[in-house]
A and B are shown apart, each in its own frame.
Chain A
Amino acid sequence: DTGVSQDPRHKITKRGQNVTFRCDPISEHNRLYWYRQTLGQGPEFLTYFQNEAQLEKSRLLSDRFSAERPKGSFSTLEIQRTEQGDSAMYLCASSPRTISYEQYFGPGTRLTVT
């Protein structure tokens, strides 16, 4: 069990560019979540996958955001036409399909839009 991993850890991009982040959950965890955390705030839910199905999306996830989880393993989060307001830490978490409901978090990807 190597934990949840995210890549890259840091991303600096210019406004208007597209960026893509990757999350590798703990193996055999069928639930995967994306959250966004701005400085000094708690994480806010973006979207949730159970296996490859995207079951819930937050209203925070505008049309410029898209997430996928092909084959129910790793997931990608893409932001198109980035804006300065997109600067944040993007956290990924996974959990098993058990009653425990604990979510295990990755280290996050810090995005800076200049």
Chain B
Amino acid sequence: AQTVTQSQPEMSVQEAETVTLSCTYDTSESDYYLFWYKQPPSRQMILVIRQEAYKQQNATENRFSVNFQKAAKSFSLKISDSQLGDAAMYFCAYRSGREYGNKLVFGAGTILRVKS
């Protein structure tokens, strides 16, 4: 079974600074997808960024980028120019590449606090 580990229960960053959230995963599959989801307090979860395992290039979405190390099974999220609106719980998630293996496997999450 696949597992996702987020070893940082909580992180803090100063506004406009850069922060990196860590995620490692365990799988025996070669085809899979990795995601970072953001869950603001009392609001619904939204997708931040997605990485396909077959792509060597790291995904980037505006101020958000990932460092995908397939051999090390590591998938960290870097947030540049942090904003107050980035404060939330961040979840790393894994999804099998099989057609019917649709479920997301989540880590325990990292609370990100942004200081003004």
Contact = CB atoms under 8 A, between A and B. Distances in A.
A78 to B, nearest CB: 20
Contacts of A95: 102
Nearest to B102: A48
Interface in B43-67: 43-47, 50
B109 A42 contact: yes
Interface stretch (A20-28, A79-87, A104-112): A104-112
Question: Which secondary structure dominates where chain B touches chain A?
Answer: strand
B33 A33 contact: no
Nearest to B95: A101
B108 A102 contact: no
Given A40-B109, A101-B33, A101-B95, A45 B45 contact: no
Given A41-B108, A56-B103, A103-B47, 16 more contacts: A3-B44, A33-B103, A33-B104, A40-B108, A42-B106, A42-B107, A45-B103, A45-B104, A56-B102, A95-B102, A101-B33, A102-B47, A103-B104, A104-B47, A105-B44, A108-B44
Interface of B: 4, 6, 33, 35, 37, 43-47, 50, 91, 93, 95, 100, 102-109
Interface of A: 3-4, 31, 33, 35, 40-45, 48, 50, 55-56, 58, 91, 93, 95, 101-108
